[in-house]
Amino acid sequence: MQSGKRVLVVEDEKKIAEVVVSYLKASVYAPYEASTGKEALELFAKLSPSLIILDLMLPDMTGEEICRRIRQSSPVPIIMLTAKVEEESILQGLDIGADDYVTKPFSPRQLMARVGAVLRRAGDDVLPPAARLSYHNDELIIDTVSHEVKKAGAIVNLTPNEFNILMALTKYPKKVFTRDELIELALGSDFEGYDRIIDTHIKNLRQKIETDSKNPVYILTVHGVGYRFGGE
């Protein structure tokens, strides 16, 4: 089932790392450990893991910094482990490209459920009808098989969540989605997030695919309801 997917665990607290690693092994993943940011980036380059579990507070670098660096080259799913429970820092974590977060102390079983959910979402369970979607005379091109998105000829790196939200919107272009619907359709019904998480993802998506994110043409806000796709 899980076929030994490589999971990179970045955590400097030995006890937490041990627990996470043993649960990952029990769930038939292949875990690798890093206890510093430097180690994490080296292992990431070497392993190309399917998923990263990333502690926010590391001795040499913050999780945010690592996330930002990885996002420059890869859409690999990232789950942040954070001791900070404030909404603001959680949303900041998503802002810089994390796909989900778990606050400490957490139950390892809950973390494994998130790992499974994030990997499923990153996989090919959203299968739209056409392989190549094109809008506004090829200004925006979405390859639904390779998950490659191009804006004005340049490749845009979307996180798995951002890609899934974009897919959900393009699949039903006339539909106005509520935030709850987008959470369920794009992020999975087991996602216990707040509405504002969708807004954060939308904001990031707009920055990546809109020419002017203040005057979007692809992802339109429908006031009082939610969002709809505006590409033609």
**Residues at the contact surface with Ca ion, assessed by CB under 5 A:** 12, 55, 57
Cα separation, 172 vs 177, whole angstroms: 9
Q: Which CB atom, from 56 or from 185, has the smaller least distance to Ca ion?
A: 56
Q: How far is the CB of 82 from Ca ion (least distance, A)?
A: 9
Q: Which CB atom, from 57 or from 112, has the smaller least distance to Ca ion?
A: 57
Q: Which CB atom, from 39 or from 184, has the smaller least distance to Ca ion?
A: 39
Cα separation, 42 vs 99, whole angstroms: 21
Q: How far is the CB of 20 from Ca ion (least distance, A)?
A: 12
Q: Which CB atom, from 57 or from 126, has the smaller least distance to Ca ion?
A: 57
Q: How far is the CB of 192 from Ca ion (least distance, A)?
A: 23
Cα–Cα separations (whole angstroms), residue 101 to 34, 169, 192, 207: 18, 24, 10, 22
Q: Is 38 exposed, middle or buried (0-12, 13-18, 19+ CB in 10 A)?
A: middle
Cα separation, 209 vs 212, whole angstroms: 9
Q: Which CB atom, from 10 or from 122, has the smaller least distance to Ca ion?
A: 10
Q: Which CB atom, from 98 or from 169, has the smaller least distance to Ca ion?
A: 98
Q: What residue is closest to Ca ion based on CB?
A: 57
Cα separation, 70 vs 218, whole angstroms: 26
Beta bridge partners of 32: 8
Q: How far is the CB of 61 from Ca ion (least distance, A)?
A: 11
Q: Is 120 exposed, middle or buried (0-12, 13-18, 19+ CB in 10 A)?
A: middle
Q: How far is the CB of 58 from Ca ion (least distance, A)?
A: 6
Give the end-to-end CA distance of the chain in Å, rounded to a whole number.
Answer: 39
